Amino acid sequence: MKKGINVILILIVIVFASSVFQVSEVQRAVVLRFGKPVGGEINTSGLKFKVPFIDNVVYFDKRLLDYDAEPKDLITKDKKNIVIDNYARWRIIDPLLFLQTVQDEKGAQARLDDIIYSEIRERLGQYTFLDIIAFKRDEIMETVTRESWEKTKKFGIEIVDVRIKRAELPKENEENVYRRMEAERHQQAKKYRAEGQEKALEITSQAEKERTVILAEAYEKSESIKGEGDAEALKIYADAYNRDPEFYKFTRTLSTYDKILSGSGKTKIIMSTESELWKILNEK
């Protein structure tokens, strides 16, 4: 009797253990009955129950998962062969769909390999080598991440981030490509210098032209002012002559002698004793 009770207790423990399962904080679970999902996905942690010996439980990780691809050869827009080593971070967002399409992480890795490599190959083929390794890498990888996620949604997978770990030339042609790139950079620099010199000559020529125009206008204006001054002086002289011809003649004579005598001091003057200057100089 006691033996039978022990057997029953053991069977109860076995049945209970077979009907209970634990879901952790970082897991989701799906219960399968005869290989088909029962009751949807389980998102909460704790002890859960199932039909013993019939149901079986499949667990899925809630955390970000890593995809690390093997290095692959690609061709850029400027026809350069490069070796790309990339990785991605992904997560399972729909366990039921994930189970029905790729089944497990191994199947998901195979899908990701096809999808991400295809996107990288297509996008990198639209950019030059320098864009990929320096100028536009972030832009390229954002596009790859977005487009890859669009293709993995149907598998219950979200692509969080795709990045290039390494992008370099194959060893056998690395030196030749860098030499050709250096020659291209020198050619571009030479072109930019020539364009700069041409622009400088254009600016200098324009400045010289404007200088000539400004000087011509200034000379024209000064001549106009000088002409107006001469005309005014002639008018004053004419008015003075009309008012007192003798005085005008006298002042003009003095002005002439003043110019003669204000020279170097070695000027000799021969004059008539009848001249006006002689009379002025001999007045007492």
Range of the domain at 21: 1-61
Question: Does residue 233 sit within a domain?
Answer: no
Question: What SS3 string covers 116-146?
Answer: HHHHHHHHHCCCCHHHHHHHCHHHHHHHHHH
Higher pLDDT among residues 143 and 262, named by residue:
143
Residue 267: its pLDDT value, please?
61
Question: Does residue 242 sit within a domain?
Answer: no
37: tokens are 């999902």
Question: Rounded CA gap, 29 and 55, in Å?
Answer: 12
pLDDT in tens, 155-179: 999 999 999 888 877 766 656 666 7
Q: Are residues 49 and 109 in the same domain?
A: no
Residue 66: its pLDDT value, please?
93
Q: Are residues 12 and 54 in the same domain?
A: yes
Q: Are residues 164 and 82 in the same domain?
A: yes
Q: Are residues 100 and 158 in the same domain?
A: yes
Please say which residue of 61, 83, 104 terminates a domain. Answer: 61
Q: Are residues 42 and 84 in the same domain?
A: no
pLDDT in tens, 99-117: 999 989 999 999 999 999 9
The domain tally of the chain equals: 2
64 has pLDDT over 90: yes
Q: Are residues 70 and 33 in the same domain?
A: no
Q: Are residues 109 and 155 in the same domain?
A: yes
pTM over 0.85: no
Question: Does residue 125 sit within a domain?
Answer: yes
Q: Are residues 105 and 146 in the same domain?
A: yes
Question: Does residue 134 sit within a domain?
Answer: yes
pLDDT in tens, 214-242: 888 887 787 778 777 767 766 776 676 66
